Amino acid sequence: MRLFIALLSVAWSFVAYAQPAAEQAASADPVAVKVQLEHYYFDAARRGDVAMLNTFIEAGYALDTQDEKGYTALILAAYHGQGPAVERLLAAGANACAQDKRGNTALMGAIFKGEVQIARRLLAADCSPDQRNGAGQTAAMYAGLFKREELLQALVAKGADLNAEDPLGNSPARLASGQIRTAPSR
């Protein structure tokens, strides 16, 4: 509890520093403080600020909090190539299987961005290798599409189905060979 109060104090000092006096009174609203804390949390993940993430973790902050797009701190850290932040969040219990509002996972983001080491670390998590996003795509489809052969093989070793298809008929195997099916034009 003391750490949470310290975290609120840090947030309040950021708010007080960044805002004119007239706006400070309005920011005393608990909802505004919550929003500000979320902003600092997600920003720390995006920047890889492990010390700030540790403050949140030690304060008991909900690690799988999602922003308006459904991104968690782990998804943001993975997408932005922040390996130490990814490692710290996973060690603290962040959910590697969490999906954003489009159904994408931290692993999908790491594969998309070419963050091979982060993707390998996320592959060690206990998530289905065939987890699908809202478009019916899997991490293996991302690996095939973006020619991440070593990750595709690691996904296969974990049990990923190379013949799984999205609604357009794309499979990891077809995508890896350069066969990309798109929606018919109207």
pLDDT band for 184, please (50, 70, 90 cuts).
Answer: confident
Nearest in space to 110 (alpha carbons), one of 92, 90, 93, 91 = 90
Which tens digits make up the pLDDT trace of 151-172?
Answer: 999 999 999 999 999 999 999 9
Q: How far apart are CA 119 and CA 109, in angstroms?
A: 9
The pLDDT assigned to 23 comes to 56
pLDDT at 142 over 60: yes
Which tens digits make up the pLDDT trace of 43-94?
Answer: 999 999 999 999 999 999 999 999 999 999 999 999 999 999 999 999 999 9
The pair phi, psi for residue 158, each rounded to 5°, is -85, -10
Ordered by where they begin, the domains of the chain are 2-94 (1.25.40.20)
More confident residue, 15 or 35: 35
The pLDDT assigned to 25 comes to 52
Alpha helices in 19-148 (DSSP H): 21-26, 30-47, 50-58, 73-79, 83-91, 106-113, 116-123, 139-145
The pLDDT assigned to 16 comes to 46
Which tens digits make up the pLDDT trace of 120-138?
Answer: 999 999 999 999 999 999 9
- The tally of CA atoms less than 13 A away on the side-chain side of residue 7 is 23
Q: How far apart are CA 63 and CA 155, in angstroms?
A: 26
